[in-house]
Amino acid sequence: MTIGWIAAGIAIAVWGVTFASTRVLLEEFSALEINIARFGLAWVALACAAKAPRKGGVCAAPWWLFAAMGFTGVFAYQFLENCAIYYTNASNVAILVSFGPVVTAVMARVLANDRSLSPRLVFGSFIAVAGVALVALNGVVNFQLRPLGDAMALCAMASWGVYSVLIEKANRLGVEPIVAVRKSFGWALLMMLPLAVWGATPSGFVALDGSYSVTLDADANLDRFASFWNWANLGFLGVLASAACFVLWSHACRVLGMVRSTVGLYLTPIVGVVFAALFLKERLTWLSVAGGILILCGVAVANRRREEGK
């Protein structure tokens, strides 16, 4: 159990600072280019690190399971979340995506007959969402509905919920996390290829304000890929935030359960705020502190039912 919490904690801590790296890269790369580079590096890292799978560990799961994991957890979720930032406020994205644990619990109940959904879980989740709102808005009331971006954020949240259910299925089939993640990344990269080809065309290059664009200009690519900081951010997102943390997250879901692990994602904004205060010199306000306390209380309440039930 302790190992499961450590795995979840590391993943949450790393994911809490990925927005900063993505934001930097979006100045020179499109959302699609970032995802291709990020998960391409992740797949290579997992291919190098993977040991021989246990007998039956891969064959026990159908190919479509890995394809569905790649589509929901990588292709859809990552791309939709990155694109949403273009069309709505980052605070909108943070607040809307924070409903993910409740949606995951509902999907787990419907699709996997998981009994984790309870009034206490919903109540704790809404306390945590209120905390996320305080952290995201930070005293500035700028939550305005922007249909396209908000819809993308909601779809990203739903995609992660389905991905969580699929992780649970892979774990029940006995698939090793490193195998499941590597195969899902491979499928996701295959799904990105047609978009990459289209993104190199004039129509694809300008679609969604350049979100699909793929730059083939040799001079531009030489400048972008000669930057140490671009490689540092891509390496962080690919090797650590994707390859390592997706495997750790799958392991945490196996040990703790998918709903219990997903509730821990409420802690991500706290990590982001602390990181920004320590390394980006952003001001830490009392509203952020209050929001962090609410998030911690909400997570404690949401997880308490499962502790009592043991």
User: Helix 268-279 vs helix 2-15: angle between axes, to the nearest 10 degrees?
Assistant: 50
End-to-end CA, the chain: 13
Q: What is the chain's length? A: 310
pLDDT of residue 156: 85
d(CA 158, CA 217): 36
Q: DSSP letters of the chain?
A: -HHHHHHHHHHHHHHTTHHHHHHHHTTTS-HHHHHHHHHHHHHHHHHHHPPPPPTTTTTTS-HHHHHHHIIIIIIIHHHHHHHHHHHS-HHHHHHHHTTHHHHHHHHHHHHH------HHHHHHHHHHHHHHHHHHHTT-------HHHHHHHHHHHHHHHHHHHHHHHHHHTT--HHHHHHHHHHHHHHHHHHHHHHHTSHHHHHGGGGTT-----HHHHHHHHT-HHHHHHHHIIIIIIIIIHHHHHHHHHHHH-HHHHHHGGGGHHHHHHHHHHHHS-----HHHHHHHHHHHHHHHHHHHHHHHT-
Predicted local confidence at residue 39, as pLDDT: 96
Per-residue pLDDT tens, the chain, 310 aa: give them. 678 878 888 998 888 788 778 878 988 999 899 999 999 999 999 999 876 454 444 456 899 999 999 999 999 988 887 777 667 666 666 677 777 777 777 777 777 666 666 787 788 888 887 887 777 666 555 556 667 777 888 888 889 888 988 998 898 898 989 999 999 999 999 999 999 999 999 998 998 788 889 999 999 999 999 999 999 999 999 999 999 999 999 998 888 887 778 777 777 777 777 776 676 666 667 777 888 888 889 888 877 654 444 4
Q: Up-side HSE of residue 102: CA atoms within 13 Å toward CB?
A: 18
**Is 124:298 a contact under the CB 8 Å cutoff?**
yes
Residue 28: which of 222, 307, 240 has the closest Cα? 222
pLDDT in tens, 273-286: 777 667 666 666 77
Distance CA(240)–CA(236), nearest Å, equals 5
pLDDT at 213: 93
Q: What is the pLDDT of residue 143?
A: 54
Query: How many CA atoms, within 13 angstroms, populate the side-chain half-sphere of residue 193?
Result: 8
pLDDT tens for each residue of 218-237: 999 999 999 999 999 999 99
